[in-house]
Chain A
Amino acid sequence: MSEIEPGKKWQIATVTSVRKESPRVKLFALNLAETTPHRAGQYYDIRLTAPDGYQTQRSYSVSSSVVHSDSIELAIELINDGEVSSYFHDVVSSGDQIEVRGPIGGHFTLSPNYSKPVLLIAGGSGIAPIMSMIRSKRDAANASPTALLFSFRTEADFLFRSELVDQVKTNVGFHLLPVVTRTAARENSSGILSFGRINRDSILSAIVSLTGNAGSPASGYPQSLPARAYVCGGSGFVEAMGNHLLDIGMGLHDIRTERFGP
């Protein structure tokens, strides 16, 4: 358990790049005047102020590595009627200034030097904080067993695809299991995608890739479970994944969750 952190002050960040990562997600690199190194999994608060004084705030997870954290990357998904996400998608461009404070949050974090097997489960833009964990482990040259089960709607929504596929090639400890939910089954360009929804079987497959242990077929429970699981995505997705993980015997305290939106 961490110590009480100092209060976070609002500061003005400068957008240094905007990149369209998928039809609905843009990546924003922000340069901060005053940087507190973040921990992988933490988020920033964003505050927008209209000319008439109206203000609103949202929280966005940092997707960049904990290394080189004078700049942070936020992955922002365009939400229908989302007043902040639509501002970011339709208006914000390189050179713009945005009011932010952070990093915030402490439970949904992973040390880049964590050496035990970790199961990461992401739904859609829930990949953002998990991407920070993966990149941070990579930059710490930590090849300890890590499996990513990543669920997204269509092949076009496979965020960070080339970087994740590259990790599979260069990091023997990293296992990638992407799952497409809304595309009809067909031959895909890479051969690594599977179709459907993440269920208990896909979680067990991920655990086998992580621990190399198929467990007891009779019980269906793997003999060795990951030390920790991190789950991030929409509320229903996280609820379902949490239930699967409890079903296969993981402890409540070994499962950390972060939920997006209603």
Chain B
Amino acid sequence: MINNKFFGRRRSEPTRPVPPGQYLEDGFPVLSAGPTPRVDLATWDLSISIGGSTVGTWNWESLNALPQTDIHTDIHCVTKWSKQDTDWRGVTIDTLLADAGVETPTGFVMAGCEGGYTTNVPVPDVLEGKGLLVHTYDNEPLAPEHGGPVRLLIPHLYLWKSAKWIRSLTFMDQDAPGFWERYGYHMYGDPWREQRYTND
């Protein structure tokens, strides 16, 4: 339906199109289901398991010793804001899997976080540089409220898939809903197809 007297402000003209229903945000809003958890870098680690077996574990030092990747990208939050031209640094999932010396898995992956948050993604969506564990935003250490020390980043999906405070990646054969997905958010979450909620 048309809202006759609505014209919109369209305050910053996007340099590139934004996905349907999104508006451009200059700031960096924070969204999370609970308070920012306290993560101790001395005990922080990240583990990858495939088919129920742990195939690799990295601590802060070993993660930083791996080849680092810079990514310049746009991000889209399901709460309607998008932010263009963001800069991140971290380690691709490809690099982690290669370091673990395992064959590329198939199926789905569940990201697990400090505090119990989870989110599910198909494996192809985190391979070939599409998924990274990032620790640096705009050349600064990633702030705790934005998911620091380390968060997942999968910029082509809505940002709830880019789980903050990540601790584990669990590769599995079958898809299963994570935290928000169980509350009715979309299993895949493609912003360009506006897959916000179940059945979108």
Contact = CB atoms under 8 A, between A and B. Distances in A.
18 contacts: A5-B197, A6-B199, A12-B1, A47-B21, A49-B1, A50-B2, A51-B7, A106-B182, A107-B33, A235-B145, A239-B36, A241-B35, A242-B36, A252-B35, A252-B37, A252-B115, A253-B115, A259-B30
Contact of A256 (B9, B10, B29, B33): B33
A57 to B, nearest CB: 4
Contacts of B115: 252-253
Contacts of B6: 48-51, 87, 91
B20 interface: yes
A92 to B, nearest CB: 9
Contacts of A245: 35
The size bracket of the interface on A is 35 or more
Nearest to A254: B34
Interface in A74-120: 81-83, 86-87, 91, 97-99, 104-108
Contacts of B184: 2, 4-5, 8, 104, 106
Q: Which of A3, A105, A108, A262 has the most CB of B within 10 A?
A: A262
A202 B46 CA distance: 38
B3 interface: yes
Contacts of B5: 87, 91
Nearest to A98: B3
A183 to B, nearest CB: 27
Nearest to A2: B183
Contacts, number: 132
A51 B36 CA distance: 42
A235 B81 CA distance: 14
A255 interface: yes
A5 B198 contact: yes
B1 A4 contact: no
A246 interface: yes
B186 to A, nearest CB: 9
Contacts of B10: 54, 83
B1 A243 contact: no
A106 B183 contact: yes
Given A49-B6, A56-B21, A253 B116 contact: yes
B17 to A, nearest CB: 12
Interface string A225-262: 00000010001001101110110000011011101011
B128 interface: no
A169 interface: no
Interface in A1-37: 1-8, 12
Say whether chain A's binding surface is mostly helix, strand, loop, or mixed.
Answer: mixed
Query: Sorted from nearest, which 8 A-B pairs have the closest CB atoms?
Result: A242-B35, A7-B199, A262-B27, A106-B183, A5-B184, A83-B9, A57-B21, A262-B29
Contacts of A49: 1-3, 6
A83 B79 CA distance: 15
Contacts of B36: 239, 242-243
Given A83-B10, A98-B3, A106-B184, 18 more contacts: A5-B197, A7-B198, A8-B197, A49-B1, A49-B2, A54-B8, A56-B23, A57-B22, A83-B23, A239-B30, A239-B145, A242-B36, A246-B38, A252-B34, A252-B35, A255-B35, A257-B33, A257-B35
Contacts of B29: 235, 259, 261-262
Given A7-B198, A12-B1, A83-B8, A57 B80 contact: yes
Contacts of A161: none
B200 interface: yes
A231 B197 CA distance: 24
B79 to A, nearest CB: 6
Contact of B198 (A4, A48, A81): A4
A58 interface: yes
A188 interface: no
A49 B36 CA distance: 36
B129 interface: no
Contacts of A108: 33
A107 B23 CA distance: 25
Nearest to B80: A57
Contact of A59 (B37, B80, B182): B80
Contacts of A8: 184, 197
